[in-house]
Each structure stands twice: as structure tokens, then as C-alpha cells.
């Protein structure tokens, strides 16, 4: 059976919890990258089906496509789900939906989840958190370092260059041997399942939520300030605008879906439930939730809209972070787009925004800036958090909200 798009499937897909790293590029986790590269090489040593792709994970997705669709396609092509099990993986809403989608596909094929899901202990689990129950639980039962540190730490240590320090080199070699043994076992299991008990490519549901969270349930707000099809700014691409501001799709040529939807999928991967608003006046939700304001930079070229934006910025709480957006593929209008972007950044800087993260020209810049914006907005909000705000308890906190550190719940 051939998957949509002509592929005959893949040996494995790596599912993992994205950890917010301020200042780092989107979807960037060096340890996961290294693990994926090593696993592709190891599976490639044993694989006997050249028609299959070896491995998939988020960085193998085609740029400019809907994130939920790409994840759904990968979940539907892979024979084995390699789940990097960690506290954040076990509790994250995105990873749970990703995992559930694959489980449903396995059940529909009447296959054995214990074979087709290999859960890797990526890091130690805190007391009280349930252990892995699917395939992979016995992956390193005879390797103490694996149970003690997890494969993420072994991956990190195994790549350490200690130079001429003989004692340190011996220690690293010991951990590297443990890492290599785990990787070899995992690779052989993946190949055995894919080649001896294949289910073939089939459909899998998208882990992306079909609709934004309700304002009451949301813990993050995405607001859009843009034009509509009835008010297309001179020089901009009419295809980018819809019936409402929330329909604005600045990258219409390469990714014709609303920018708010793209932003919401980033927040979902970071385990925040976002709602979407639009308008030219301060949003009531801003008073009680961290937020970002996505701005169509072309609006600044219109005097009336520029005045409206200035008024909005003046009344915006410090935890609402603005981002002016243009499309790097503006073609003949590129020079005017650059000027609009420069004017927008100047306006945002005057309003107190950090110019280093106040503008995105193109999809790649937008995707790279989004995690930083989300993290900074959330941090700014909790620094000035209203005393009556009840936020979600994060992993490791007690009833007083103590014990957890931002970013440590990997």
C-alpha cells in the first residue's frame, strides 16, 4: 500500500515533547536531533526495504504546509512510533493527542501496540508518575545507566569530547557503550516490526485541535490586527485577506492558512491552549491572559490604520507582545513591504517592544520567533500576574504554586 503523496511508508516516527527554549529556533532540540540522526543510521544498518523512508520527525516535514496535516501524514506512514517518554511528554496535551492518534490507527489495523509503539525513557520520571506501559519498557532493563539517567542524558554524554582526560574518557566510553546498546536494540526492534508485521500506510487523525480554545478555557490569547478583503492595503497581496481579520494569511503563496491558526499550532506544541481574537481596540481577555498581537505591517502604510494601531499599542498591557509580519515573497512590492516593516518596527519600538523580536519577514522567521514570543509573554504576565488569577498547576508544583521552574518540566 502506498501512502498519500507516493510514499510506501516509513520505518519510524519520533514523537517528543517540545521544550520552550527562549531565543532558540522553533522545533529546536539538539539532543532530539542527535538521537534522530543516530537512530536513522542504526536502523539503516538493518533495514532491508529500500522503498520505505527510514525515519520521520518534525524537522523532516515539508516547509510551508499545515503542521497538523504534516504530523497526521507522518503518523499514518510510520510502522513504529518512537515515543521519547518524559514528564512533559506524559502530561502534554499535544503529545497525548499525537500518541492517541497512532494508537487508534494501530487498533484499526488490529495490530499489537506493544510492537508498534516503542516508548523510550528519555529522562527519569518523578515519583508518582506512571511508568511506560507499551513496548520499550524492557529496552534497557539490564542497563542501570538507562534507568537512572534516561536515554537523553546518555545521548548527551556519549557525544562529549573530554580531550586528553583519560579518567573522563573512560567514563564517557562507559556511557557511550550503554547508549549504543540501547540504540542497537531499538533499531532491531523497529526493523523487525516494520518488515515482519507491517500494517502499511493508513490514515491517522491530526493532533491539532480543529478550533481555538474558548475564551474561558484558554490560557493564552492570539490577537490579529490586519486588513480584510474589503480593505486591502495598497501594494499588498489581495489573496492574503479574508472576510475577517482573523482570516489574514500573510504567506498565502506558500502556506494559505490563517496566521492565527499557524500561531495556535505553535502554542499547542508548547502545551498552551490559545484562543483567537481580532480587532482594533484593546481586548478584554488581555487583562487576564498572556498574549501576542500579530500585526499586518501593511496597515502602517495607511494613515488611518496606523493611528488605530498606535492607539492600540498605547493601551496594551506589558505582557501583550506585538509582532509585525510581512511576506519575504512580496515580489514587485518587496521594497514597499520592507518600508512598511521598518515603519512598523519603529512604531512598535516606540511603544516599548524589543526590536529584535518585533518583526518577521517570511514564514521561517515567523516560526522561529513564535516560541520566544510565547515564552516571554507568559513570563511577563506572571511577573505582573493579577492576584486573583488562577493558572494551571505546572508539573512539580504544590498547592502554593511552588516547586516548579519555568522550562524545567521536560
Tell me the pTM: 0.79
Q: What is the pLDDT of residue 386?
A: 55
Residue 340 confidence (pLDDT)? 86
Q: Tell me which residue of 116, 122, 124 sits closest to 179, measured CA to CA.
A: 122
β 359-361/291-296 pair status: unpaired
Q: Which three cell numbers stand for residue 84?
A: 521519547
* 32 vs 28: CA distance, rounded Å: 8
pLDDT at 23: 52
pLDDT at position 9 is 93
- pLDDT attached to residue 271: 85
Residues (pLDDT < 50) of the chain are 1-6, 26, 388, 394-410
Specify whether domain 10-196 bears CATH 2.60.40: no
Do 341 and 361 contact (CB within 8 A), yes or no? Answer: yes
Q: What is the pLDDT of residue 368?
A: 83
Q: Which residues pair with 296 in a beta bridge?
A: 325
Task: Note the CATH number of domain 220-383.
Answer: 3.40.50
Q: Where in the chain is the domain with CATH 3.40.50?
A: 10-196, 220-383
Say how far apart CA 360 and CA 408 lie, in whole Å.
Answer: 28
Amino acid at each position: 500500500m502506498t501512502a498519500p503523496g507516493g510514499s510506501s511508508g516509513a520505518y519510524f516516527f519520533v514523537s517528543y515533547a517540545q521544550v520552550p527554549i527562549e531565543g532558540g529556533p522553533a522545533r529546536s532540540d539538539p539532543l532530539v536531533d542527535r538521537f534522530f540522526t543516530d537512530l536513522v543510521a542504526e536502523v539503516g544498518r538493518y533495514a532491508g526495504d529500500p522503498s520505505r523512508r527510514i525515519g520521520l520527525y518534525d524537522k523532516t516535514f515539508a516547509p510551508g504546509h499545515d503542521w497538523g496535516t504534516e504530523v497526521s501524514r507522518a503518523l499514518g506512514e510510520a510502522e513504529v512510533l518512537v515515543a521519547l517518554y518524559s514528564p512533559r511528554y506524559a502530561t502534554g496535551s499535544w503529545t497525548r493527542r499525537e500518541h492517541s492518534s497512532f494508537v487508534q490507527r494501530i487498533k484499526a489495523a488490529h495490530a499489537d501496540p506493544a510492537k508498534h509503539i516503542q516508548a523510550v525513557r528519555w529522562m527519569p520520571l518523578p515519583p508518582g508518575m506512571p511508568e511506560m506501559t507499551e513496548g520499550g519498557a524492557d529496552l534497557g532493563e539490564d542497563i542501570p545507566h538507562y534507568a537512572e539517567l534516561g536515554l537523553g542524558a546518555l545521548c548527551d554524554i556519549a557525544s562529549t569530547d573530554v580531550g586528553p582526560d583519560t579518567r573522563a574518557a573512560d567514563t564517557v566510553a562507559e556511557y557511550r557503550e550503554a547508549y549504543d546498546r540501547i540504540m542497537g536494540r531499538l533499531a532491531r526492534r523497529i526493523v523487525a516490526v516494520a518488515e515482519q508485521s507491517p500494517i502499511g500506510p493508513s490514515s491517522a487523525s491530526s493532533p491539532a485541535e480543529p478550533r481555538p480554545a474558548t475564551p474561558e478555557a484558554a490560557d493564552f490569547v492570539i490577537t490579529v490586527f490586519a486588513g480584510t478583503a474589503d480593505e486591502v492595503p495598497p501594494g499588498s497581496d489581495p489573496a492574503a485577506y479574508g472576510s475577517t481579520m482573523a482570516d489574514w494569511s500573510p504567506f498565502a503563496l506558500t502556506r494559505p492558512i490563517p496566521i492565527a491558526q499557524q500561531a495556535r499550532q505553535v502554542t499547542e506544541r508548547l502545551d498552551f491552549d490559545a484562543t483567537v481574537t481580532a480587532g482594533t481596540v484593546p481586548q478584554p481577555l488581555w487583562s487576564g491572559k498572556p498574549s501576542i498581537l500579530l500585526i499586518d505591517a501593511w496597515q502602517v502604510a495607511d494613515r488611518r490604520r496606523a493611528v488605530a494601531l498606535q492607539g492600540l499599542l498605547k493601551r496594551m498591557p506589558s505582557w501583550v507582545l506585538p509582532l509585525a509580519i510581512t511576506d519575504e515573497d512580496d515580489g514587485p512590492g518587496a521594497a514597499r513591504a520592507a518600508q512598511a516593516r521598518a515603519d512598523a518596527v519603529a512604531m512598535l519600538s516606540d511603544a516599548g517592544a524589543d526590536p529584535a523580536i518585533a518583526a518577521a519577514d517570511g514564514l521561517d522567521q515567523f516560526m522561529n520567533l513564535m516560541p520566544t514570543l510565547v515564552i516571554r509573554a507568559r513570563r511577563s504576565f506572571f511577573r505582573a500576574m493579577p492576584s486573583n488569577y488562577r493558572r494551571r498547576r505546572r508539573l512539580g508544583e504544590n498547592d502554593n504554586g511552588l516547586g516548579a521552574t519555568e522550562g524545567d518540566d521536560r
